[in-house]
Amino acid sequence: MHSSQLKQKSEKSALKISLTGSTVFVGLELLMAIYTSSQAVLLDAVYDGVELLMIFVSLSLVPLLYKPSNESRPFGYLQIESLFVVVRGAIMVAVTVGLIVNNIQIILHGGRHVNFSAVAYFELAATVISFIVILLLRRMNADLTSPIVTMEIQEWKIDAVASLGMSAAFFLPLIIQAEWFVPLTKYLDQAIAIILSIFMLPVPVRAVTTGLRDLFLLPPEEETVQNIKDIITPILDAYGYDKLYFDIVRTGRKLWISVYITFDRDEVSISRFRIVQKFIIQALSKEYQDFYFELLPDIEYNDETEV
């Protein structure tokens, strides 16, 4: 089977694992939220529900992402992936902010008591299951470097840490029996939900920012650009090429890297270019799996140039 088909199959399998886990989690969290009236558990359920919807969309996108580029679509369908990341991140931001506002309103209306022990043990079990799913997804994504699967892993990490924090917090009323703490317990559930929301918010915000950069064909984050330059520049220096111009963009999971060389002499060795380009591609392959690289002479248009 062709490597792209294998990757497509592996990516779908990874998403199906996440889909199965999310479906089970959403169902259990909704039941627990109804049983305990916990806003923190409801936060988890809503967050995972949106995530579940996004996984269904992801599964339909995967076949498009493996279609080759052509003249009518020079970047293939990879920008659809960037658009999807932006939409998904924006929805998660909206949901999280909405839940923060909702919990502030509950606090202002006097708070709410919940079944702390039931929530604590439920979230402890959820933490263990989340870490198992993370390990499975990381193992499957090792050879894929899929932005969609990577984002799934990030979401499961958030779930795992959030569930662990919630479990510890909801065990507090069972451990602390002091009189001063009892009046505060009716606000504990909402406080945890707000803290978790603030903790979760940076991840979708970063996803939106990164997706917009890719969508508008802006250079990726400075760390990625510098890493690429650090790989390529020493190789070109060794061949005496030092007047360089880098053009780096990213669409979804793929990097498009062009390096233009300015020559002092009016001659270019094609065979030498091929050798240098081969070495650079081999070096980049150690760090990046999905990229396109080209090495080009920097030819400026001049009105005085004779034809």
**CATH code assigned at 22:** 1.20.1510.10
- Is residue 154 situated within a structural domain? yes
- Is residue 291 situated within a structural domain? yes
Task: List beta partners, residue 260.
Answer: 245, 296
pLDDT at 281: 93
- Is residue 21 situated within a structural domain? yes
Work out whether strand 244-251 and strand 254-261 pair parallel, antiparallel, or are unpaired.
antiparallel
Indicate if 119 and 140 belong to the same structural domain: yes
Instruction: Flag residues of the chain having pLDDT under 70.
Output: 1-5, 62, 65-66, 68-72, 74-77, 143-145, 147, 264-267, 299-307
pLDDT at 307: 47
> Sign of the C-alpha dihedral, residues 210, 214, 218, 220?
positive
**pTM for the complete prediction?**
0.66
pLDDT at 66: 67
**CATH code assigned at 244:** 3.30.70.1350
Indicate if 181 and 88 belong to the same structural domain: yes
Contact residues for 12 (Cβ-Cβ < 8 A; gap 6+): 59, 62
Tell which of 165, 196, 215 closes a domain.
215
pLDDT at 246: 93
- Is residue 109 situated within a structural domain? yes
- Is residue 156 situated within a structural domain? yes
pLDDT at 1: 45
pLDDT at 239: 82
For residue 83, the Cα-to-chain-centroid distance in whole angstroms is 13
Tell which of 161, 194, 215 closes a domain.
215
Tell which of 215, 237, 269 closes a domain.
215
> What residues make up the domain containing 23?
3-215
Q: What is the number of H-type helices and E-type strands within the chain? A: 9, 3
Indicate if 140 and 200 belong to the same structural domain: yes
Indicate if 81 and 189 belong to the same structural domain: yes
Number of folded domains in the chain? 2
Please report, in angstroms and rounded to a whole number, the separation of the first and last CA atoms in the chain. Answer: 50
- Tell me: the pLDDT tens digits for 196-242? 888 878 888 988 888 888 888 788 888 999 999 999 999 998 888 87
> Both tokens of residue 231?
């790989």
**25-40 b/e with 16+ CB inside 10 Å = b?**
bbebbbebbeebebbb
3-state secondary structure of 111: coil
Indicate if 85 and 182 belong to the same structural domain: yes
- Is residue 257 situated within a structural domain? yes
> Both tokens of residue 29?
């969290």
Q: How far apart are CA 146 and CA 12, in angstroms?
A: 11
